[in-house]
């Protein structure tokens, strides 16, 4: 029998949005005390349930606003579900927004230590892998330049190099391969494929049907916070194309 790596059980995320614009904190507090704040509820996720087995590569597709990134944040533990729960076996490495934890005033070298610490890597582990990270990022002398001077592609390269230095049990990729140049994307794909050989479980969020068909084994299609369709990676990618062309 296949070993279960992840269970998502009836997960919902509900936001309360104010109906009127509140321009400052003082006005917000006054209205809150007077109970004069009017809200409308928005369901970002609505009763989402699925199971992923160890070594599977699950594509998560859907239009913008369908709930893909919200779902990944709940699974990664960044966001708490309003209802439902998730359970997983092993460690999770989420690549939700590459370089989001960088300090723009620090150099690339300094951010390796900072970002690595934020991801929970021990200091001796970072020291051991430091040269490997620098080599993979391939930033040349820019590694000693403040990150504020980097392009978005350069930040993505450094973020990817740091985040993927470990061998996670579950890897979350949220639009990671949509940034950077063709050479970087090819390098990232090669790195990810090497993880597949080690039975890493992958959740892959993408709008690219080509990448989904190439990298994934099965998939789900989200629409307005619900699972609208699930099947093989090819079936889900084709369904996504069909919906977009409708």
CA distance 204 to 201: 10
- Model confidence over 185-231: pLDDT tens digits? 778 778 877 877 778 899 999 898 998 998 899 999 999 999 999 99
Q: What is the reported pLDDT for 23?
A: 62
Q: What is the reported pLDDT for 39?
A: 62
Q: Tell how strand 4-18 and strand 83-88 pair up.
A: antiparallel
> Is residue 179's pLDDT more than 70?
no
| Between 243 and 178, residue with greater pLDDT | 243
Q: What is the reported pLDDT for 54?
A: 92
Tokens of 85: 């729960």
CA distance 13 to 142: 41
Q: What is the CATH number of domain 4-91+168-245?
A: 3.40.50.300
Could you state, in order of their start, the residue ranges of all structural domains in the chain?
Answer: 4-91+168-245, 101-167
Give the burial class of 16: count Cβ atoms within 10 A of its Cβ; 0-12 exposed, 13-18 middle, 19 or more buried.
Answer: exposed
Pairs from 180-187 (Cβ < 8 Å, separation ≥ 24): 180/153, 180/156, 181/153, 184/153, 184/156, 184/157, 187/136
Q: What is the mean pLDDT of the chain?
A: 85
- Model confidence over 83-122: pLDDT tens digits? 999 999 988 888 776 666 789 999 999 999 988 888 788 9
């Amino acid at each position: 029998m296949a070993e279960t790596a992840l269970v998502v059980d009836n997960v919902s995320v509900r936001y309360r949005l104010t109906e009127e614009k509140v321009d400052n904190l003082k006005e917000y507090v006054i209205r809150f005390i007077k109970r004069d704040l009017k809200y409308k509820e928005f369901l970002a996720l609505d009763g989402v349930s699925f199971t992923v087995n160890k070594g599977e590569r699950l594509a998560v597709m859907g239009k913008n606003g369908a709930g893909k990134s919200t779902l990944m944040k709940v699974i990664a533990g960044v966001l708490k579900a309003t209802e439902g729960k998730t359970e997983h076996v092993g460690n999770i490495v989420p690549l939700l927004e590459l370089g989001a934890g960088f300090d723009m005033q620090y150099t690339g070298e300094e951010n390796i230590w900072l970002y690595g610490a934020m991801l929970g890597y021990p200091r001796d582990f970072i020291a051991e892998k430091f040269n490997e990270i620098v080599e993979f990022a391939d930033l040349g002398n820019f590694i000693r330049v403040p990150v504020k001077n980097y392009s978005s592609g350069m930040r993505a390269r450094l973020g990817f190099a740091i985040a993927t230095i470990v061998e996670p049990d579950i890897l979350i990729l949220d639009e990671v391969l949509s940034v950077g140049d063709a050479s970087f994307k090819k390098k990232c794909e090669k790195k990810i494929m090497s993880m597949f050989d080690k039975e890493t479980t992958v959740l892959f969020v993408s709008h690219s049907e080509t990448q989904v068909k190439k990298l994934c084994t099965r998939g789900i299609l989200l629409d307005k916070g619900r699972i609208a369709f699930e099947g093989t990676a090819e079936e889900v990618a084709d369904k996504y194309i069909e919906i977009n062309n409708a």
